């Protein structure tokens, strides 16, 4: 889906976020983004 995008994103797009992200979990020292595709990304401080 993202590879097919022709426009460059320069600002926050609520519809795109809701289409791609299943949930965000916030921990004391990191947060985890879980995409609807099943991919999970951990982001440390």
Mean pLDDT of 25-44: 95
N residues, the chain: 45
* Predicted confidence (pLDDT) at residue 5 exceeds the cutoff of 80: no
Which residues in 1-45 belong to E strands, given as ranges?
Answer: 21-26, 30-35, 40-44
pTM value is 0.71
Check residues 7 and 44 and name the one with the higher pLDDT: 44
Q: How is the chain split into domains, by residue range? A: 12-44
Rounded to a whole number of angstroms, the distance between the first and last alpha carbons of the chain is 28
pLDDT band at 2 (very low <50, low <70, confident <90, very high): low
* Predicted confidence (pLDDT) at residue 1 exceeds the cutoff of 70: no
pLDDT band at 4 (very low <50, low <70, confident <90, very high): confident
Q: What are phi and psi of 7, to 5 degrees?
A: -95, 150
């Amino acid at each position: 889906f993202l590879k097919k995008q022709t426009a460059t994103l320069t600002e926050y797009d609520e519809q795109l976020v809701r289409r791609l992200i299943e949930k965000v979990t916030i921990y004391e020292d990191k947060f985890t983004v879980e995409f609807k595709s099943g991919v999970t990304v951990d982001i440390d401080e």
